[in-house]
Amino acid sequence: MFIKPIVEYAGLDVDESGRNRMAIFDEAEWGSHSYWGEIISRLKATHGLYLFYDSMTRPLYVGIAQDQSIWLRANQSYNHYRDRQLRVPMVSHPTSNVQYDPDRTRKIVRKGFNLSEVASFFSAYEVSADLIPGLEAFAIRAFGGVLLNTKIEGNGGLGLTGVEEE
């Protein structure tokens, strides 16, 4: 049984890979870098637990990569549109070159979002297969109401022996 840090509190260097998809690190820029290239390779080759944090390093989301690599699962989570658990206030600003009108007030609306719009930092841990389900359940329970996770995974036994579900 083991838990090994791969990367902790790394600032996200977003790759706008097209088709409204983002990647947590720009592979074209950092893939051949001695340090970041190795991290990307490890994320592609390992299973475990990953976390996204906001700009103040408060946890936003905890996920596991049990059947897929951390790289694949984290990028899927990063791009998943969330509108059930929280909506954030946003204003639609023009993207074309229009004249600014100081008398026009733009409407504030609450909208869903992707983690790519709110996450600033990322951590990932290689975890032995026997610990992955219980560790995710523990993290979600420990962080409680601050996470954006909609499912409370492993609600009950935490995957530990000797723990009974009600």
CATH number for the domain harbouring residue 74: 3.40.1440.10
Count the domains in the chain: 1
Residue 100 lies in a domain: no
Q: Is the pLDDT score of 160 beyond 80?
A: no
Residue 18 falls within a domain, yes or no? yes
Q: Is residue 94 part of a domain?
A: no
With respect to residue 103, please indicate whether it lies within any of the assigned structural domains: no
**Statement: residue 159 has pLDDT above 60:** no
Spatial CA neighbour of 147 closest among 76, 72, 52, 70 = 52
Rounded to 5 degrees, what angle do the CA atoms 114, 72, 113 make?
5
The answer to the question of residue 154 being in a domain is no
The answer to whether position 30 is within a domain reads: yes
Reported as a single tens digit per residue, the pLDDT across 111-133 is 777 788 888 999 999 999 999 98
Give the tokens for residue 76.
Answer: 């899927």
- 140: which 2 tokens? 């979600």
Domain that holds residue 40: 3-85+114-146
The whole-angstrom separation of Cα 151 and Cα 6 is 25
Q: What average pLDDT does the segment 4-13 reach? A: 92
Residue 108 within a domain: no
Does pLDDT of 147 surpass 70? Answer: yes
| CA dist 109 → 2, 91, 119, 148, 152 (Å) | 45, 6, 20, 20, 28
* Residue 25, in any domain of the structure: yes
pLDDT in the model for residue 43: 96
What pLDDT band is residue 20 in, cutting at 50, 70 and 90?
Answer: low
